[in-house]
Structure 1
Amino acid sequence: MGTAALINRSLPVLIFFVCFITIVRFLADGTAKLGIWLRMAASFAGAWWGLILAVAFLLWIVVGLGLLARWGKLPKWIVKRKWAMDVLNRLTNRAALEERLKGDATPVFIDANALAEALKARVIGQDAICDDIAAQIRRRMALQQRGKPVGIFLLAGPPGTGKTYLAKCLAEELRRALIHLDMTQFSQALSATMLFGSPKGYVGSNSYGKLTAGLRDTPDAVVLLDEIEKAHPEVHKKFLTSWNDGFVTEASDGRPISTTRAIFMLTTNAASDDLEDVRKQDGTDQDALRRNATTALRDAGFAPEVLNRIDRILIFSKLYGLDVARVTALEIEQMVRSYGLEVADQGIDPELLFKMMQRQETLAEAASSRDIVRSIEESIADSLITARQDGARCVALIESGEGVIAMPVEQRIEP
């Protein structure tokens, strides 16, 4: 303990005893000297002494109440007043409650099949990954004693295949908060303070980091570390304690924040070509897939100790065939709704979907779901605006020689 800290801790006690001794000596003088004190108080000098005694007495009361509050001995009539800023400090023992929450690992039983079906309905073309992650989540959430996060999953593969979207869908299906961190913001070693807080005396030490504040407020959140490969390697290593020991330390006050109820989802586009070959070669052999995927990611710059903490490496595949049509149809429906319209039943021309599939094949290796969105916007945005201006509420999209026409319909077309 430093000298400054020792003085800060000892000063209230010294003030308390000085004030106490002053009052005791005053009372011990008896009534004989009471008149002397009154006469001194009547003079100018006596007035100053009276002011000093009054301040000393007030300090004695404040210090005494502070010590009683620290020892939990405050009278109930004081505690009941709404002076405390936090309702938990006023109505219960907050420290004991937080300690109890840390040790609470109540098992949660979920339906893996229902979760997998819900994910597959929203994330197109990644059925095997949805089944795998649903089974992993079910097993880990059922554990009653757990000393580390529910799961640390690395979602790898080419861009635009649904990695980030899967993490968001998982948070929604589990009804958990999502802490979305774009790791491109943490490309410098010192940027770790934005996640874990700054030490005392440094800029930003008056507030928590983005990660520690999020886990403090929502300890069962889904933490999405998007494009983890773009963060500095030293930032990667800052996560080791949270993944291995079940807590992360806030640098500003040294408080440990539990991570045992959180789910960590990491996404990366690194080594996507090598990982695609690994997936095709070892898709059914999990041990071989992890071994070869770990080698590819290590060659791409990931530290071995970071990869060792990851529970599951999930490799996403590119979109082909009818999966492109499914993604296109869903994106069209979402875009039409964003213009305040509805798509009629069977209101998307199959020719439109076929052209989108051909365009994806033309792009080949560069194709992704984002290219689909751009193509859709270029094809149908103008016709949707025209239909909206004409007062339409429901439209059917028809491919013509001159482009896509958004034709208003009075009601939804029955299949």
Structure 2
Amino acid sequence: MFPARLNRILPYVFLATGILATIQLASTLMRFLHKSGIADWVIHNRGTLGWVFASLAAIAWLFVLLGALRRRHRLPKFLSERRWLMDILDRLTNRAELERRISEQAESIFVDAEALAATLKAKVVGQDKTCTDLSAQIRRRLALKQRGKPVGVFLFAGPPGAGKTWLGKVLAEALGRKLLHFDMTQFSAGGFGATSLFGAAKGYVGSQEYGKLTAGLRDTPDAVVLLDEIEKAHSDVHKNFLTAWNDGFITEKSDGKQINTNRAIFVLTTNAAVDTLADLSRQYANEPDELRRAAVGALREAGFAPEVLNRIDRIFVFEPLSGLDIARVAALEIERMISGYGLTVADGGIDPEVLLDLMARQQRMGSAASSRDLTRAIEESIADSLIAAKEQGATAISLVKSEGGVRAEVAAATPALAKAATPKLAQPGS
């Protein structure tokens, strides 16, 4: 109790000490002026001048004291109600929080929608319309100077393997933003899932560290947050995202700090209601508003909570891969796999028969087929041949369809092995 009383009287003690020190300083100054021969009128009126200086010092100390008391909310009521004593923001709101939030307001960013769309289309096969629409949305939203919520909350819906996750990754790369990627199937348990993403409250295990999402947004507030298969997450996890998408912040549970989300882009993917959404996409191909309305209804029937759907800015329905799009994806995946073995593919080095076989295999699997199935089929077909070619010193290869499967022919080799004949390569399944 004694320290508390002492804290209350200390400001007054400091004020009295300041006044006495100021009077003493004024007296010393007057003696100096007297000895130095300053004008007689100063000498004769030194008492009056001393009181003037003392009064000015007292007024200055009074304002210092009032400021200190105001900051500690200890002003008497009759003073605290005087509007002229404080900033209107101090009286009516939390000024410090307001200043912090203003400092975090996003600046306008201008992007070339056509260039962005071209970049996305070059890497994402079969979704040109989605790439164009998404680029336009990104351009409009980044140009806003002030936002009360994220740049965008976009839902990518459609069949597995259509490029939803891949587009999210390519978007982050094209915009030069860090990607925060979360597989939401790992957060199907409410308590653990929410804790892992948003931190644990004080007193609970893990409360010394930030959650994976809150830490990521704290360090890189302009990240692209990719939430894969959002429908698999627990409803408690969904609820924690509502303020992030609607109010522009997300709360870290360990310390209660609000992490700004105004500069982030949220990309959600879902495989829910695939067949229904595919039909709706064809039916409302040229009516985006009707497509959104119908898609929201289909996703609600598939189990999406209305409050989650209400916070989604735009729903993009992906088309299933077909025809040459399957061949394009297969060719890119083959090139990536060949590169993974430290090899390159020669120009025109993929036999069309290889791609035709992969297309037929994918089509036989029907609408349930995904790009992962295509990747597995490619690996089964060419992996052994690539390993054998690498062992023979190849640097570039061509893929040729043969009776036993797919054969990798050496198109270029290291100098030491340049004279070596094309090796007999292992066939898939051998």
Pairwise same-fold verdict (TM > 0.5): yes
* Unaligned ranges ≥5, structure 2: 11-71, 73-95, 414-430
In the alignment, structure 1 residue 210 sits paired with structure 2 residue 179: no
The counterpart of 1:291, out of the listed 290, 293, 296, is 293
Question: How do 1:77-226 and structure 2 match up within 5 A?
Answer: 99=100, 102-190=103-191, 191-226=193-228
C-alpha RMSD over aligned residues: 2.5
Equivalent of residue 303 in structure 2, options 301, 304, 313 = 301
**Cα distance, 1:101 vs. partner?**
7.1
Provide Cα deviations, 1:126-153, integer angstroms capped at 9, x if missing partner.
1111111111000000001111100000
Deviation at 1:337, TM superposition (A): 0.6
Change in 2 beyond 3 A, CA 1:101/1:215:
farther
Matched with 1:339 is 341
The letter of the residue matching 2:182 is L
* Aligned match of 2:81: none
Question: Where does residue 371 of structure 1 map in the other structure?
Answer: 373
Deviation digits for residues 314-370 of structure 1 (CA, Å, limit 9, x no counterpart): 111111000011001000000001111000001000111111111112111222211
TM-score by length of 1: 0.75
Deviations, residues 111-136 of structure 1 (Å, cap 9, x unaligned): 11111111111110111111111110
Closer, same or farther in 2 for the Cα pair 1:394/1:117, shift >3 Å? same
Equivalent pairs counted in the alignment come to 329
Partners in 1 of 2:101 and 2:279 — Cα distance? 47
Structure 1 or 2, whichever has the larger Rg, is: 2
Residue 350 (structure 2) pairs with residue 348 (structure 1) = yes
Partner of 1:360: 362
Q: One-letter code of the match for 2:215?
A: A
Q: Distance in 1 between matches of 2:102 and 2:165?
A: 30
**Gap change, CA 1:101 and 1:380, over 3 Å in 2:** farther
Matched AA of 1:158: P
**Corresponding residue of 2:69:** none
Q: Is the 8 A contact 1:233 1:302 kept in 2?
A: no
Where do 5+ consecutive residues of structure 1 fail to align?
A: 1-6, 18-70, 72-94
Q: How does 1:13-32 map to 2 (within 5 A)?
A: none
Return the letter of the residue paired with 1:192. A
Contact in 2 for aligned 1:102/1:258 (Cα 8 Å): no
- Deviation of 1:410 after TM superposition, in Å, equals 3.0
What's the CA shift string for 1:2-59, capped at 9, x where partnerless?
xxxxx9xx79x88xx9xxxxxxxxxxxxxxxxxxxxxxxxxxxxxxxxxxxxxxxxxx
AA aligned opposite 1:409: A
Amino acid in structure 2 at the alignment position of 1:303? A
Structure 1 stretches of 4+ with a deviation exceeding 2 A read 98-104
Q: CA deviation at 1:99?
A: 2.4
Residue identity over aligned pairs, in percent, reads 63
Aligned to 2:318: 316
Please give the alpha-carbon distance, in whole angstroms, between the structure 2 residues aligned to 1:233 and 1:384: 46
Aligned partner letter, 2:234: H
- Please state how far the C-alpha of 1:100 moved relative to its aligned partner: 6.7
Question: SS of 2:365's equivalent?
Answer: helix
